Structure 1
Amino acid sequence: MASPPDQLESSVVLLKSGGVIAHPTDTCYGFACDISNKSAVERLYALKQMSLDKPVSILVADLAMARRYAQFSSRALKFAERYWPGPLTLVLPRTPHLPEHLNANHPTVGIRLPQDRFSRELARLLGGTITTTSANLTTQPSPYSPDEIEAQFASLPLKPDLIVDGGVLDRSVRPSTIIDLSGTEPRLLRQGAIQIDL
């Protein structure tokens, strides 16, 4: 295990080479990989034992990067300006810049600009964006410490290439709130860390 911010550069090197890393976020620990690398995305799904039909969200360094991969309506921009950076995932229509292999057959993408600097720097230094999904097996609870990640994957052949040790995170922090803004009316898909009444 490695601790931030010491391992920022080595994390980026691993991501660029197709690795999958576990890192602390502003909610729980998450798995990151390079969204432009198809084999890395496939490995992420295999690592989590997750169905390829299930979409994965992406994490960006800034709003400009978000607008490259998703179409922002005026309503979506208002949500982003009010709640970003923070634990809010916006589900928006995808743009042609989003790799076809990511969330294939899904016209939308979940996108988030996190509060924590380490996650944003990962995306920025990678020069694109990264996946954001909890660093766990699909059937297991979200992890809030490196020990929990190690325990879940200890007996399995597939393991994350690196666990960035950010210590034990606050378990009272809920997952990100998810709002679908791809249609004519906003839909609350998950009430999470940010309380939003539509």
Structure 2
Amino acid sequence: MQQEFDNAIQVLKQGGLILYPTDTVWGIGCDATNYEAVKRIYKLKQRKDSKSLICLVNNYSMLERHVDNVPNMAYTILDIAVKPTTIIYDDPAGVAENLIAEDNTLAIRIVKNKFCEKLIRYLKNPIVSTSANISGQPTPKSFKEISDEILKGVDYVVNLQNEKSQSKPSTIIKLSNVGMVKIIRE
């Protein structure tokens, strides 16, 4: 596991793309502050850059560094959530511009997966997380379902295929600074 971690960190620091297990599904990831790396993910997924991606952080402190005003409701939701929950926040900061949606929002999840948490802690930046599929195709439920196109399109595949993931995407909730709460995906 340490060798996989070291290899993944090296690739992330060099602006590369990794394929890695998350607390939900296998994800394609990069340093969320690297514009060119984020651009490569959109190209690999054949996804329009107007459709935003999820960003992973490892704790409340990192969340607060990358969102200008975290609504109090976010802490309540995250404290009671029983499954991985992504929240879309207004006014993100300190990430690549092409990661921010047109309405100046960003989807962020605090990870519970030890491997992801350690990657983020050592990188000292959030990591992009998007499902390991071409846009519009089904989300792979296991490593075996990931297409060759995705496998060949990343710079490093973390060799933890036996890592248990939920095989389901996270819940997504949009929280606005004016108090609006909207469930995007359960």
Residue 144 of structure 1, aligned match among 141, 144, 164: 141
DSSP-derived class of the 1:22 partner: strand
Q: Mean alpha-carbon deviation: is it higher for 124-133 or for 139-148?
A: 139-148
* Alignment correspondent of 2:38: 41
The answer as to 2:168 corresponding to 1:174 is yes
The answer as to 2:145 corresponding to 1:189 is no
Query: What letter is aligned with 1:55?
Result: S
Residue 69 of structure 1, aligned match among 53, 66, 70: 66
Alpha-carbon distance in structure 1 between the residues aligned to 2:112 and 2:165: 16
- TM-score, scaled to structure 1: 0.83
> What is the Cα deviation at residue 74 of structure 1?
1.2
* Alignment correspondent of 1:194: none
* Alignment correspondent of 1:79: 77
Q: Residues 1-198 of structure 1: matches in 2 within 5 Å?
A: 4-70=1-67, 71-83=69-81, 86-103=83-100, 105-153=102-150, 159-167=153-161, 173-182=167-176, 183-191=178-186
Higher normalized helix content (fraction of residues): 2
DSSP-derived class of the 1:7 partner: helix
Query: What letter is aligned with 2:39?
Result: E
Unpaired runs of 5+ in structure 1? 192-198
Contact 2:33/2:94 (8 A) holds in 1: no
Alpha-carbon distance in structure 2 between the residues aligned to 1:153 and 1:108: 27
DSSP-derived class of the 1:39 partner: helix
**Percent sequence identity over aligned pairs:** 32
Name the count of aligned residue pairs.
184
- TM-score, scaled to structure 2: 0.88
User: Considering only aligned residues, what root-mean-square deviation do their CA atoms show, in Å?
Assistant: 2.2
